[in-house]
Structure 1
Amino acid sequence: MSTDPAGLDTTLLRSYLQTAAPHLLAGPLTARLISGGRSNLTYGVSDGTRELVLRRPPLGHVLKTAHDMAREHRVITALAGTEVPVPRTYLLCADTEIIGAPFYIMELVEGTPFRTAEELAPLGEDRVRAISERMVDTLATLHSVEPAAVGLEDFGRAEGFLERQVRRWQTQLDASRSRALEGADELHRLLVEHLPATSGSTIVHGDYRLDNVLIDEHDRVAAVLDWEMATLGDPLTDVALLMVYQQLARRDGPVPVSTVSRAPGFLGDDQVLSRYADASGRNLSGMAFHLGLAHFKLAVILEGIHFRFLQGQTVGEGFSVFGDAVEPLLHEGISALRR
């Protein structure tokens, strides 16, 4: 009986690697699920001597344009050698016949992806503050990278980025909506009516938060992970989404996202914005639209996860609360645009 985790057949993978990249892993392989179901599936794959990381799309319902392994692999590879810490990439496989989906293999970086305040708080307020400061500084560093300097000048289109984001997330919602969602149509309408001019174009991560970052034993950022939504666009979209994650974490009841912002010492919202503004030199006075868009985007992402959960296509635990957060996020996005 196979002990492989869902979504990865190690026998088929080994057969492929013996021809495509025999230097990476040799002998029988074992695999463990590192994280799964919320975004792309991440596995540790070992031959008993060396362990690497394999990333593939989630099982089942996958939204069009989402979970693009080639784009994720490209941006991580491009950022190697910059001041943005990323894992080393080794292989990209676009052939869906190997394990049932495209995948890529990268270095296993040692570090902790802090997901909860309970994990972070024992470090003490000074270390927690330092970690949250370095998280913000790393985002500003990412936004300072010149795309053309790393071969990413064609990674996205700066013109019309915010308009396309509104359209994209509405399309994604239409593709995964399985129920009536109060506030969805109104928030979309307000976003269309309040489109601002872009505040520049940089490489944007698309889902930046502390649990998508590995922290090393010296409280430094060892690697930024989960680049599946990276593109070229308005850097304030990354900042606004980080704010929404922080605010959502402080709500009462079950929270379907990282709760690290509850930890004593973690930078508050105003402190995050101030530190980012100082590090980047950007004006953050007009964030209302970006916050509304961030609420809409996260609501759509959680609705997609909720849809996969209902279809029995999530891998791991804790997915039953995701759907409960969708309508509150939509209403908070409306409020952000009306302030």
Structure 2
Amino acid sequence: MSDAPGSGTDPGLDRAALDEWLPAHVAGLQPPFRATLVAAGGSNLTYRVDDAAGHAVVLRRPPVTAVLATAHDMGREWRILDALHRHTGLPVPTPRAYCGDLGVIGAPFTVMDFVEGRILRTPADSAGFTAAEYATATDSLVAVQAALHAVDVDAVGLGGLARTRTDYVARQLHRWMAQLEQSRTRDLPVVDEVHATLAASIPPESGPPGLVHGDHRFDNCVLGPDGAVVAVLDWELATLGDPVADFAWSCCYWTDPGDPAPFLDAAPTLDPGFPDRATTVERYARASGRDLAALPWLEAFSYWKMGCLVEGVYARRLRGAAGGAGVADPGAIAERAERFLHHAVVLLSRIA
């Protein structure tokens, strides 16, 4: 978000409407505004908006087409960000405004402060790090996630974020399968086969449920000058559930050299200055005090979920929607989905 290159276009925005709405709802902003679509974003569209005086904010809205309501609830994302900013010390961008009026730009949107700093997306992004900065970035990423998982959701007003706090994996299995069914474009038996295996073998949860981010990794964090996390971004997938399942997803993003099916082919953790994934597992275990016995199974589940997510990106790309898996060719996206799903089969076979 903060230092990504922009495309220079603004699909899904009405500049004239924003020139009127933003000054009325976000103190200190002066029109006219220049909006830049962030190139490296998730499924929600993210823009940097600069005003006439040089101030910058971030605006997020759902995709222009192929919107799944449960995956792009901007009001829900706003409530999470606002509660964490008001009631915890977690590093989140300062929320500035929420608009649920579809008459402004055609969709709900949130506005938050732009956070200066560095986002690690590839090994090149940590070029010049000192040994202390590598250590700080690693420790901070893990510590922030453990602290998030320890938030008292009732005390901060997020106790009603999910209909139930338990059975997180079962809920995720249902949710991702249901979303895939809404956008399925081809027959992919491995999706159903792995789903059936997972549904029949869900392990006990790691302990009390907590707030889970759903996509906690370097790509979704801004680092300060010393390497510490100064802002966690992209809260669209946050819910209540099993924190170790959330950590397992993060583990799959912590790529080691030689990993057969990396979530990211050029993951920032491939920089040799970072420790291996096993080290982060040890640090999370110490910081959280959680039972990690189910971590291998949850990593297999994470690969199935990523396969479903990328398959959804493939379907949206076929329909011409933006956002996605880091590649433009629909065939390459389809191949990535298959690779993740088949790696889930491999991981499950090792557990059995």
| Shorter-chain TM-score above 0.5 | yes
Deviation string for 1:202-258 (max 9, x for gaps)?
000011111100001121111000000001111012111112222488557997566
Rounded to whole Å, the distance in 2 between the matches of 1:298 and 1:249 is 20
Rounded to whole Å, the distance in 1 between the matches of 2:130 and 2:260 is 23
**Structure 1 residue 319 corresponds to structure 2 residue 324:** no
Moved more, 267-276 or 251-260: 251-260
Helix, strand or coil for the counterpart of 1:183?
helix
Percent identity of paired positions between Structure 1 and Structure 2:
37
The residue aligned with 2:37 is 33
Superposition TM-score, scaled by structure 2 size = 0.88
Deviation string for 1:90-139 (max 9, x for gaps)?
11111222112110101111111110012124324542233122111110
From the superposition, tell whether residues 251 and 59 of structure 1 become closer, same or farther in structure 2 (CA, over 3 Å): farther
From the superposition, tell whether residues 206 and 298 of structure 1 become closer, same or farther in structure 2 (CA, over 3 Å): same
The residue aligned with 2:5 is none
The residue aligned with 2:216 is 208
Superposition TM-score, scaled by structure 1 size = 0.92
The residue aligned with 1:228 is 236
Deviation string for 1:292-325 (max 9, x for gaps)?
2211211111112222222221159733343321
Q: Which runs of 5+ in 1 are unaligned?
A: none
From the superposition, tell whether residues 174 and 105 of structure 1 become closer, same or farther in structure 2 (CA, over 3 Å): same
Helix, strand or coil for the counterpart of 1:127?
helix
The residue aligned with 2:4 is none
The 8 Å contact of residues 255 and 270 in structure 2, kept in 1 or not, is answered as no
The residue aligned with 2:346 is 335
Residue of structure 1 aligned with 2:114, choices 108, 111, 114:
108
Shift of 1:337: 2.3
**Structure 1 residue 186 corresponds to structure 2 residue 193:** yes
Rounded to whole Å, the distance in 1 between the matches of 2:300 and 2:77 is 26
Helix, strand or coil for the counterpart of 2:111?
strand
From the superposition, tell whether residues 161 and 310 of structure 1 become closer, same or farther in structure 2 (CA, over 3 Å): same
Rounded to whole Å, the distance in 2 between the matches of 1:249 and 1:314 is 30
**Structure 1 residue 167 corresponds to structure 2 residue 174:** yes
Moved more, 162-171 or 5-14: 5-14
Rounded to whole Å, the distance in 2 between the matches of 1:59 and 1:185 is 29
Query: Superposed, which structure 2 residues align to 1:1-339 within 5 Å?
Result: 4-19=9-24, 21=25, 23-35=27-39, 38-49=42-53, 50-80=55-85, 81-156=87-162, 157-199=164-206, 200-247=208-255, 251=259, 259-314=267-322, 318-320=327-329, 321-338=332-349, 339=351
RMSD after superposition: 2.3
The 8 Å contact of residues 133 and 226 in structure 2, kept in 1 or not, is answered as no
Rounded to whole Å, the distance in 2 between the matches of 1:203 and 1:253 is 28
The AA in structure 2 aligned to 1:163 is: A
Rounded to whole Å, the distance in 1 between the matches of 2:258 and 2:111 is 35
The 8 Å contact of residues 96 and 112 in structure 2, kept in 1 or not, is answered as yes
Shift of 1:326: 0.7
From the superposition, tell whether residues 228 and 89 of structure 1 become closer, same or farther in structure 2 (CA, over 3 Å): same
The AA in structure 1 aligned to 2:339 is: P
Deviation string for 1:65-101 (max 9, x for gaps)?
1011111111111111422100111111112221121
Rounded to whole Å, the distance in 1 between the matches of 2:307 and 2:255 is 14
Helix, strand or coil for the counterpart of 1:92?
strand
Moved more, 79-88 or 216-225: 79-88
Rounded to whole Å, the distance in 2 between the matches of 1:147 and 1:22 is 28
From the superposition, tell whether residues 242 and 258 of structure 1 become closer, same or farther in structure 2 (CA, over 3 Å): farther
Moved more, 48-57 or 318-327: 318-327
Rounded to whole Å, the distance in 2 between the matches of 1:254 and 1:278 is 25
The 8 Å contact of residues 36 and 314 in structure 1, kept in 2 or not, is answered as no
Rounded to whole Å, the distance in 2 between the matches of 1:327 and 1:248 is 21
Rounded to whole Å, the distance in 1 between the matches of 2:346 and 2:22 is 51
The AA in structure 1 aligned to 2:62 is: P
Rounded to whole Å, the distance in 2 between the matches of 1:222 and 1:322 is 32
Rounded to whole Å, the distance in 1 between the matches of 2:117 and 2:223 is 5
Moved more, 325-334 or 178-187: 178-187
Rounded to whole Å, the distance in 2 between the matches of 1:88 and 1:282 is 30
The 8 Å contact of residues 37 and 58 in structure 1, kept in 2 or not, is answered as no
From the superposition, tell whether residues 17 and 82 of structure 1 become closer, same or farther in structure 2 (CA, over 3 Å): same
Rounded to whole Å, the distance in 2 between the matches of 1:134 and 1:336 is 28
